[in-house]
Each structure stands twice: as C-alpha cells, then as structure tokens.
Amino acid sequence: QVQLVESGGGLVQAGGSLRLSCAVSGSIFSITRMGWYRQPPGKQRELVAGITSRGSTNYSDSVKGRFTISRDNAKNTVYLQMNSLKPEDTDVYYCNAGVVTPATGGMDYWGKGTLVTVST
C-alpha cells in the first residue's frame, strides 16, 4: 500500500546542481523521519541526509554545506537539493521514510532509487 517514488536524478557536470524528490503515497497517518541514502563502491549504504517530522536535519560530512534536505508534509514529499556536485557523488540515491499507517503502525519503507551521475 505504501509506496515511495523518487525522481530528479540525471547527468550533470561537476559543479552543477540537481534536486531529488521522493513522494510517499498510501494510507498515511504520519511520516516520522525521512532521508536519502547512497552506497559507494565497497561500502555499506550510508545516510546522506535526514530530516525529522519537525524539520531537524543531519548530513554526512561529505555533503555538508553542499546538500540541503527539506520536506513538504502536506504533500508527503522529501527533497534533496544538491549543489556543487562532485564526481564522487555519483550513485543511486534511495529515499527512506518511517511511515505510520492505521493498519500496520510504524514501518520503514524504501524507494527503488534514482541515478545521479556527475561528470568531470
């Protein structure tokens, strides 16, 4: 029932910008935290940026100062504004959300990912 759909990925030159979106649909009572993840080669999936229902944010050190996460609670959507992109930012970016539904209570959900490619 609950579904997360990412969009906004693509090809961009180093130093450029992209904005990712993730829309959550379904029978939603509330959404707690939302976040964006990526998995560099040879590493575990890592949190890029996270945001609580009240708007508190946290970022990985590698993107701090370049990326901004935000959310629109009325639209059940989270965004990731990515500026000053570097080739090492290239990855599939996955949306994650903690969703509370009347039927199941709180559960963790993942999107299928959107590819970001940063060229030199």
Letter string b/e over residues 29-58, b meaning 16 or more CB atoms within 10 A of that residue's CB: eebebbbbbbeeeeeeeeebbbbeeeeeee
Kindly indicate the confidence band of residue 11, based on its pLDDT and cuts at 50, 70 and 90. very high
Residue 67 has pLDDT above 90, yes or no: yes
How many residues are listed for the chain in this entry? 120
Read off the pLDDT of residues 74-118 as tens digits, 9 standing for 90 and up.
999 999 999 999 999 999 999 999 999 998 889 999 999 999 999
